[in-house]
Amino acid sequence: MVFSPDGKLLASGSFDNSVKLWDVTTGKELKTLSGHTAGVRSVIFHPTGKWLVSSANDKTIRIWDIASGREVGTFLGHTAEVGALAFTPDGSLLVSGSDDTTLKVWDFASRRELRTLSGHSREVNSVAISPDGKTIASGGFDNLLKFWDLASGKELKNLTGHKNQIYSVAFSPTGDIVASASTDTSLKFWEVSTGKELKTLEGHKDEVLSVVFSPDGKTIASGGGNSEPVIRIWNVESGQEIQKLSGHSSGIRGLAISPDGKILASGSRDNTIKLWRING
């Protein structure tokens, strides 16, 4: 799930093959976007807020016009399910990660595939792009976190600290840290410039399925798996847990924080979305 750039809309994707748009203020469902033929794995707004992009287990990436709810374009090229999406800050390039073990870089305006990044040996489940638009981070089911140069497609770093699958990765707002969440129950912080592991956050008793930084970079939220479906909020500097949110009955697969940092959205395998007021 993801908030629109203005924070007024929330988009969610589901394994019922649909994408939904919600009014954040009222919680009302505004539109259902239908077209995927298999479960939707990722959704992301274009930085302009005019389009939403979704990827799914039907191997496709689809573009939706927000105003009309119509599908207006498709990216085709992956040979397996597409589980991850990220835009460059200017919205000119889209990066996708797939169960075919590759990442692809696309020109958004022309829908043209620019390059394929190969290096993971298993599914690529999460991708993120640095705030300066230069570096890609990817997390795989091969337990690896990789950094890539976006312009050349060259692999920069291959990081091996996790003991199990990486489900989610996120850049800090300043771009100097990447957080990774794993089924080994841990979160890790990594220094982007050196690849050094900075910190391991331990507290979850089950797999960690999602992670997101607050807009000010001071806190980070993580979502737990089926046996302990809680959201933990951590102080980034100290690595200490500062809050625990309970309410879902199954694993928390998606987290998003509004652009103003006041609302946390969580989506669960229990088929519910919850909105939480944070930071007062």
* Domains with residue ranges and CATH for the chain: 1-78+91-100 (2.40.10.480), 119-280 (2.130.10.10)
How would residue 133 be classed by pLDDT, with cut points 50, 70 and 90?
A: very high
Is 11 within 8 Å of 52 (Cβ atoms)?
yes
The tokens for 179 are 């957080």
What does the pLDDT read at residue 140?
97
List pLDDT tens digits, range 69-117.
Answer: 999 999 999 999 999 999 999 999 999 999 999 999 999 999 999 999 9
Count other Cβ atoms within 10 Å, centred on residue 65. 14
Is 172 within 8 Å of 213 (Cβ atoms)?
yes
Q: Cβ-count burial of 255 within 10 angstroms (0-12 exposed, 13-18 middle, 19+ buried)?
A: buried
Task: Report residue 99: phi and psi, to 5°.
Answer: -70, -10
Q: Give the strand order in the sheet containing 186-191.
A: 166-171, 177-182, 186-191, 197-202
Amino acid code (one letter) for 154: K
Strand 19-23 and strand 29-33: pairing? antiparallel
Is 221 within 8 Å of 243 (Cβ atoms)?
no
Average pLDDT, the chain: 97
Residue 144 pLDDT greater than 50, yes or no: yes
Q: What is the pTM (predicted TM-score) of this model?
A: 0.96
**Residue 74, C-beta contacts closer than 8 angstroms, at least 6 positions apart:** 60, 61, 62, 63, 111
What does the pLDDT read at residue 189?
98
Is 125 within 8 Å of 83 (Cβ atoms)?
yes
d(CA 120, CA 258): 31
What does the pLDDT read at residue 280?
47
